[in-house]
């Protein structure tokens, strides 16, 4: 029997489950067995007591069952067999390990567990600390049960048997129990919440009593429980915030609890801010909290942790406040209108006070964080808070002069920092005491409980409007002034200020903090300046402090902050003296400092440095910065200065007015292109390195050249067509438009700019010109307005005006300008015109393609100016104008040639109506200038006053022949007629001067030289017409030109030539025209030959001249004669080789024209001396000709003209002869 009792737990394993699973009629027998055989064992049941409780517990689940009371009685007997602590510890273990037994066990405990009210009850019923901890684990497990009835039962047990005010549970165990108990609110069940709050708040009905009860007996444990949950694993971080959301429904619990753990929650959220779900739950919790409570806790944190650095983790706590302001949507009206303005004012005041701290350099990181908080608040506050004053009310109102910190402390019910520190220390000691309290009543503190009340909002009026602006602005300005004087710049007396290192004012490890503090302070002041009104006085100390930052420090961050703030405040006209940067001395010092930061060694600072320079430009006197930079380039005169300006220029590319603001230094750089080799290399290197677009340079050039102070008066010069005969035989007058300068202007700068433009585009070449051609003028910009005002430009299609167009128009206008001889010297104007021509020539000659309309403008202007110069005896411009005209004719010819080829191609495809409009336009241009071109050339060759330029004109005609070859009848032939006629006239002059009246001492040199020039020109034109394959009149097939020809005498031999032009005589080829007119041409050439023969003077003539003079005249004339005859022989040889038959026939015809009687030799004998054999003499001396060859040719010509004779090849007979 003893052995069976010892092994009772072993063999009872099969019997215990019968109570739960036995049938109804079997249960009485099982209970009878327990009662008769088990209970008599009494103390020997200890080993199986836990199993016994588990076996009996299922019968306790239903209170109305017939066995319920019987089982309760048996359990009571069972508890008597062992000690109560052991018995209840078995129940706790059963509740922990058997979730199904929790309902019946709770039924039993609610009925039989004695109420514990003192220390003796705890020792008797529950036992020691280990048993109490086991009980708490069982209760916590049960509270986390998923069954609602179980949770309700355990809460009922806590309310009934474990009243908090009895303090029977040690602090640590109570914290564990609180974790589970507070989680009940997540079930959203009113019955559970009611029991929970009854346990936490006690049974007293008054709110204040409940608050006192909770604060005294439950708050610390609940707070610690919530704190532990806030720092638990990330997977369940949402749980505490959801619990807090539910607890907020019960202010007596929620508000004290939140008041205690608010900052802890922020620390926790700061670590897990990347978890969106947690942040969402936290935001919901924040939305439910009282704004007053939120801001009160933030203020408490700020007030406690700044400016002192004695408290641990002060910087981390300030960062937590920043996290709270940025991570949560604190957009409640009360927060925005009441609390944030107070916090902003307090922050600014405490920031100013922090400078008085002897350890200021140690808390620079705190100061930096504090200013960041100010900036955040400034960003979040609505503008109307600063702009609209508050209407006075009945509450307490802040006034200027009050201590804002004390005012806000009073509002939130807080003491000063020292008192707060004492309270914190006292609370920490009390917390340690409670933690050490093991739960027995003997250690219960006898101190009076703290009277806690729900936070109520005091009756204070909001702080806003001008009062808020002044408070914050004054505090920030005072802080900045003192901060700069003490920590940024060196004081005049080095013994003053605070020594922070070997450098005297700053340490390397705090320099970045100093920069950040200064920068953020400046930002805050700039922000407040937006809301300040005119009532704020100018603060000279602030102006001086910001100037010192801009001028005296070496750290770029400090210069940047000080200068940008100074400029912004000047622009807003707040706080500082707006005239400070009008002083050249201050601006010079600032520019000296900024110029250093543009060195290649500080590349990362270049962009911001350029921005700072532009800030200075905008607020300083016009051209002040420009002058300073110009002085840098002039006086320093080193490559580094040019590099710095290049950096400034390149990084200012996005600023349209850069070229105007820095025009003078830009001119200095560009002027290097015309200097010696070293300077030229520097200038070219600068352009290659820093000039991305040539168009950027042009605005100052154009605006200066189109200066409204340059006043012109439009006028015209009438030029009559006296030297020409038109096809319609009507007189004609050409009006040449030009301009007279009304008043003096700076001609030197205009001449300089045109020269500089030419040098620039000579270096830039096609790239520069293409850049100008591809960039259009802004129709609303200053350049277009200047073009309209100065050039009277009225083109409707103003969107297509390019920079190249403007440059051409400007140069044309200066080309058309003339001096009125009253104010301006003609030589100065000529220099401007010459440089304008140079630039036009550069444009036309360098570009691979120029718009036809642009070429037409240049060409017409050039022709008009040439005609003007010819008629006014202006020799200075003609040579360069001829070069320019040559270039324009080359382009027009090329475009017109392509047009003709295109039309021929289309004609072969029967698509003439689809021609290229651009190239067809080139042909129209060629038609439009032909008459004026011929008129100008004829006048230049004809007018005696223009004979000094004759050689240049003849060279020009020789050069442009390929470009006018498609205007044979309209352009080449009239010019050839003019040359022949002028040659004839020079022969007459020479004949009179040499052969008839040598004693009159007429000037011969010019006539001889001009004759040689005309012969040279004739040779080139005639041979071009004969040898060029593509000479034609294709440009003028449907033209209505007036076709001017030179004015000839009535009996001139060239009249037949003239008839070809006006009467449209048709020949198969243009060359036939020249060959047909060979007798006429040769007649003139023979006249030249005659003139340059040795003169046969009479004896009287020789006597009157004297032997010495005769010899001198003959010697001089012989030299000219040799040149003329050499030229004639060359012409004759070329014509003979080109067309021998026509050549011989022409001379033969001339011989018979000169000797008409020679045709009658067969009928009458005459003296051969009566004949003029000059044509035959010239024919005989022509190189490559022999008498036999000439006779053979003549015989063949006779056969060609004799009808009925047989010929191997018939030749087209141009002239039938006599």
Q: What is the 3-state secondary structure (H, E, C) of 506-536?
A: CCHHHHHHHHHHHHHHHHHHHHHHCCCCCCC
User: Do 826 and 917 belong together in one domain?
Assistant: no
Q: How far apart are CA 151 and CA 167, in angstroms?
A: 22
Instruction: Give CA torsion, residues 657, 663, 665, 667, to 10 deg.
Output: 140
pLDDT tier at 996, thresholds 50, 70, 90: confident
At 1205, is the secondary structure helix, strand, or coil? coil
Beta partners for residue 817, in sequence order: 739
What three-state secondary structure class fits 818? strand
Q: Return the residue matching tokens 């035989």.
A: 729
Closest CA to 16 of 103, 87, 97, 74: 74
Q: What is the pLDDT of residue 446?
A: 33
SS3 1066: coil
pLDDT at 503: 45
Same domain, 744 and 830: yes
487 with 506: CB under 8 angstroms?
yes
Which range (112-126, 884-898, 1018-1032) has the least confidence? 112-126
> Who contacts 194 (Cβ-Cβ below 8 Å, separation ≥6)?
none
Q: Is the pLDDT of residue 306 over 70?
A: yes
Is 1131 within the bounds of a domain? yes
Q: Provide the token pair at 1039.
A: 């033209």
> Mapping DSSP to helix (H, G, I), strand (E, B) and coil, where does residue 720 land?
strand
Instruction: Give the CA radius of gyration of the chain.
Output: 58
Cα separation, 902 vs 646, whole angstroms: 48
pLDDT at 431 over 60: no
pLDDT of the residue at 1117:
75
Q: Are 746 and 651 contained in the same domain?
A: no
956 with 947: CB under 8 angstroms? no
622 with 638, same domain: the answer is yes
Residues 866 and 841 in one domain: no
816 and 866 belong to one structural domain? no
Length of the chain: 1218
**CB-based contact 802:774 (threshold 8 Å):** yes
Task: Answer with the one of 939, 955, 983 that is the final residue of a domain.
Answer: 939
Same domain? 808 vs 855: no
- Calpha distance 641→177 (Å, rounded): 78
Helix spans in 538-638 (H): 540-551, 556-572, 584-596, 606-619, 624-631
Instruction: Lowest mean pLDDT of 300-309, 647-656, 750-759, 796-805, name the range.
Output: 796-805
Q: Is the pLDDT confidence value at 401 over 80?
A: yes
* Per-residue tokens: 390: 């508050």
> CA distances (Å), 434 to each of 224, 430, 687, 1100, 1134, in order?
12, 6, 81, 157, 132
Residue 209 predicted with pLDDT over 70: yes
Closest CA to 543 of 574, 501, 520: 574
Number of Cβ atoms within 10 Å of the Cβ of 574 = 22
Residue 245 within any structural domain of the chain: no
Q: What are the beta bridge partners of residue 717?
A: 736
Q: Is residue 234 assigned to a domain?
A: no
From 848, 863, 884, the end of a domain falls on 848
Residue 1088 falls inside a structural domain: no
The two tokens of residue 651 are 């990084």
- Residues 121-143 have pLDDT tens digits of 778 788 888 989 999 999 999 99
Residue 487 forms part of a structural domain = yes
Residue 436 domain flag = no
Please provide the average confidence, as pLDDT, over all residues in the chain. 83
Could you give the number of structural domains in the chain? Answer: 4
Specify whether 712 is located in the same domain as 842.
yes
d(CA 1020, CA 953): 13
Range of the domain at 704: 698-848
Residue with tokens 């009848």: 969
pLDDT over 90 (residue 1216): no
Q: Is 1093 helix (H, G, I), strand (E, B) or coil?
A: coil
Residue closest to 277 by CA, chosen among 307, 218, 235: 235
Backbone CA torsion sign across 162, 163, 168, 169 = positive
Of residues 889, 876, 864, the one with CA closest to residue 952 = 876
Whether residue 919 sits in one domain with residue 863 = yes
Closest CA to 530 of 402, 434, 626, 386: 386
Contacts (Cβ under 8 Å, ≥6 apart) of 98? 54, 57
Helix (H) or strand (E) holding 206: none
552 shares its domain with 635: yes
In a domain, 776, yes or no: yes
* 824 and 868 inside one domain: no
Asked whether residue 1181 is assigned to any structural domain, the reply reads yes
Q: Which segments of 954-1101 are extended strands (E)?
A: 1045-1046
**CA atoms in the 13 A half-sphere facing the CB of 787:** 27
pLDDT at 5 > cutoff 80: no
Q: 682, 676 in Cβ contact below 8 A?
A: no
- The reply to whether 511 and 609 lie within a common domain is yes
pLDDT band at 799 (very low <50, low <70, confident <90, very high): low
Examine the pLDDT at 433 and tell me if it is beyond 60. Answer: no
Residue where a domain stops, chosen among 903, 921, 939: 939
Interatomic CA distance for residues 81 and 56, integer angstroms? 15
What is each CA distance from 233 to 228, 246, 264, in whole angstroms?
A: 10, 21, 15
Q: Beta partners for 735? A: 718
Residue 619 and residue 572 in contact, taking contact as beta carbons nearer than 8 Å: no
Which pLDDT score is estimated for 183?
92
802 SS3 class: strand
Closest CA to 649 of 682, 685, 603, 686: 686
């Amino acid at each position: 029997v003893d052995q069976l009792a010892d092994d009772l737990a072993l063999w009872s394993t099969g019997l215990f489950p019968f109570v739960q699973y036995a049938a109804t009629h079997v249960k009485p027998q099982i209970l009878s067995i327990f009662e008769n055989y088990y209970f008599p064992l009494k103390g020997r049941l200890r080993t199986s007591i836990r199993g016994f409780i588990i076996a009996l517990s299922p019968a306790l689940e239903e209170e109305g069952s017939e066995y319920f009371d019987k089982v309760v009685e048996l359990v009571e007997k069972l508890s008597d067999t062992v000690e109560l602590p052991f018995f209840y510890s078995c129940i706790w273990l059963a509740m922990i390990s058997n979730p199904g037994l929790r309902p019946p066990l709770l039924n039993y405990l609610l009925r039989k567990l004695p109420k514990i009210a003192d220390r003796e009850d705890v020792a008797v019923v529950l036992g020691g600390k280990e048993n109490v901890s086991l009980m708490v684990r069982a209760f916590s497990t049960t509270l986390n049960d998923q069954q609602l009835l179980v949770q309700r039962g355990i809460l009922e047990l806590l309310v009934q048997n474990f009243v908090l005010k009895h303090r029977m549970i040690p602090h640590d165990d109570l914290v564990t129990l609180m974790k589970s108990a507070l989680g009940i609110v997540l079930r959203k069940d009113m019955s559970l919440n009611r029991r929970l709050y009854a346990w936490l708040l006690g049974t007293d009905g008054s709110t204040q009593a409940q608050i006192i009860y909770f604060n005294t007996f439950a708050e610390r444990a609940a707070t610690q429980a919530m704190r532990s949950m806030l720092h638990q694993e990330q997977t369940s971080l949402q749980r505490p915030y959801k619990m807090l959301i539910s607890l907020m429904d019960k202010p007596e619990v929620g508000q004290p609890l939140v008041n205690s753990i608010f900052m802890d929650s922020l620390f926790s959220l700061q670590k897990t801010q990347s978890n969106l779900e947690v942040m969402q739950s936290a935001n919901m919790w924040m939305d439910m909290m009282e704004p007053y409570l939120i801001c009160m806790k933030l203020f408490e944190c700020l007030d406690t942790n700044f400016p002192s650095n004695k408290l641990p983790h002060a910087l981390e706590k300030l960062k937590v406040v920043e996290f709270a302001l940025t991570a949560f949507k604190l957009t409640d009206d009360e927060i925005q209108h009441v609390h944030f303005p107070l916090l902003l004012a307090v922050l600014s005041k405490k920031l100013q006070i922090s400078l008085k701290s002897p350890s200021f350099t140690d808390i620079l990181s705190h100061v930096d964080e504090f200013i960041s908080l100010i900036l955040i608040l400034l960003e979040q506050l609505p503008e109307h808070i600063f702009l609209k004053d508050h209407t006075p009310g009945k509450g307490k109102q802040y006034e200027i002069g009050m201590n804002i910190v004390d005012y806000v402390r009073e509002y939130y019910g807080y003491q000063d920092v020292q008192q707060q520190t004492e309270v914190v220390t006292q609370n920490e000691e009390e917390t340690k005491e409670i933690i050490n309290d093991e739960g027995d009543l003997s250690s219960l503190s006898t101190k009076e409980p703290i009277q806690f009340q729900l936070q109520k909002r005091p009756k204070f009026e909001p702080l806003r409007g001008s009062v808020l602006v002044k408070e914050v602005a004054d505090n920030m300005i005072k802080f900045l002034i003192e901060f700069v004087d003490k920590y940024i710049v060196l004081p005049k007396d080095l013994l003053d200020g605070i020594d922070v290192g070997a450098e005297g004012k700053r340490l390397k490890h705090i320099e970045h903090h100093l920069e950040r503090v200064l920068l953020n302070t400046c930002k805050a002041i700039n922000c407040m300046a937006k809301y300040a009104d005119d009532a704020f006085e100018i603060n000279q100390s602030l102006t001086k402090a910001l100037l010192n930052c801009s001028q005296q420090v070496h750290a770029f961050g400090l210069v940047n902050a000080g200068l940008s703030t100074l400029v912004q405040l000047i622009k807003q006209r707040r706080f500082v003296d707006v005239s400070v940067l009008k002083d050249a001395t201050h601006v010079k010092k600032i520019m000296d400092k900024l110029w250093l930061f543009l060195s290649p060694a500080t590349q990362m600072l270049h962009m911001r440095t350029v921005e700072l320079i532009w800030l200075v430009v905008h607020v300083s006197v016009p051209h002040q910065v420009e002058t300073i930079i110009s002085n840098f380039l002039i006086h320093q005169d080193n490559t580094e200065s040019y590099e710095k300006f290049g950096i400034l220029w390149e990084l200012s590319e996005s600023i349209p007015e850069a070229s105007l603001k820095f025009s003078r230094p830009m001119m200095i750089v560009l002027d290097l292109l015309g200097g010696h080799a070293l300077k030229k290399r520097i200038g070219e290197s600068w352009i290659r390195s820093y000039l991305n677009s040539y168009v950027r340079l042009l605005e100052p050039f154009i605006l200066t050249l189109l200066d409204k102070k340059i006043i012109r008066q439009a006028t015209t010069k009438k030029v009559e067509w006296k030297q020409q005969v038109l096809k319609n035989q009507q007189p004609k007058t050409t009006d040449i438009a030009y301009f007279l300068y009304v008043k003096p202007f700076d001609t030197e700068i205009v001449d300089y700019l045109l020269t500089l433009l030419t040098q620039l585009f000579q270096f830039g070449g096609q790239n520069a010109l293409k850049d100008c051609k591809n960039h259009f003028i802004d129709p609303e910009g200053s350049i277009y307005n200047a073009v309209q005002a100065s050039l009277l430009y009225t083109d409707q299609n103003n969107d297509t005006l390019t920079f190249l167009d403007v440059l051409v128009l400007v140069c044309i206008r200066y080309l058309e300008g003339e001096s009125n001889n009253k104010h301006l010297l003609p030589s100065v104007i000529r220099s401007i015109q010459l440089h304008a021509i140079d630039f036009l020539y550069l444009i036309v000659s360098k570009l691979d393609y120029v718009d036809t309309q642009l070429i037409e403008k240049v060409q017409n202007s050039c022709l008009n100016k040439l005609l003007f110069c010819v008629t006014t005896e202006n020799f200075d411009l003609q040579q360069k104008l001829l070069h320019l005209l040559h270039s324009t004719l080359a382009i027009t010819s090329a475009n017109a040639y392509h047009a003709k080829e295109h039309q021929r191609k289309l004609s072969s495809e029967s698509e003439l109506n689809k021609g290229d409009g651009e190239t067809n336009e080139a042909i129209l241009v060629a038609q439009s200038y032909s008459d004026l071109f011929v008129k100008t050339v004829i006048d230049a060759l004809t007018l005696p006053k223009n004979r000094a330029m004759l050689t240049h004109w003849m060279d020009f005609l020789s050069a442009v022949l390929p470009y006018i070859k498609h205007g044979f009848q309209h352009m080449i032939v009239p010019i050839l007629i003019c040359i022949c006629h002028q040659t004839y006239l020079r022969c007459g002059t020479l004949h009179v001067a040499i052969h008839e009246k040598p004693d009159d001492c007429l000037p011969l040199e010019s006539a001889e030289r001009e004759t040689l020039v005309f012969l040279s020109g004739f040779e080139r034109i005639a041979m071009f017409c004969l040898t060029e394959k593509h000479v034609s009149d294709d440009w003028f097939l449907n033209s209505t030109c007036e076709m001017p020809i030179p004015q000839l005498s009535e009996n001139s031999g060239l009249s037949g030539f003239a008839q070809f032009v006006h009467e449209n005589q048709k020949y198969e080829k243009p060359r036939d025209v020249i060959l047909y007119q060979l007798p006429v041409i040769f007649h003139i050439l023979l006249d030249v030959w005659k003139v340059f023969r040795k003169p046969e003077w009479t004896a009287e003539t020789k006597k009157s001249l004297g032997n010495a003079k005769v010899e001198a005249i003959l010697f001089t004339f012989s030299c000219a004669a040799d040149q003329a005859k050499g030229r004639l022989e060359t012409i004759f040889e070329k014509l003979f080789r080109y067309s021998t038959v026509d050549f011989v026939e022409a001379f033969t015809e001339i011989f018979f024209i000169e000797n008409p009687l020679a045709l009658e030799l067969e009928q009458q004998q005459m003296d051969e001396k009566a004949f003029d054999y000059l044509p035959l003499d010239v024919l005989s001396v022509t190189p490559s000709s022999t008498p036999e060859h000439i006779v053979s040719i003549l015989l063949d010509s006779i056969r060609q003209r004799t009808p009925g004779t047989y010929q191997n090849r018939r030749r087209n007979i141009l002239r039938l002869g006599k």
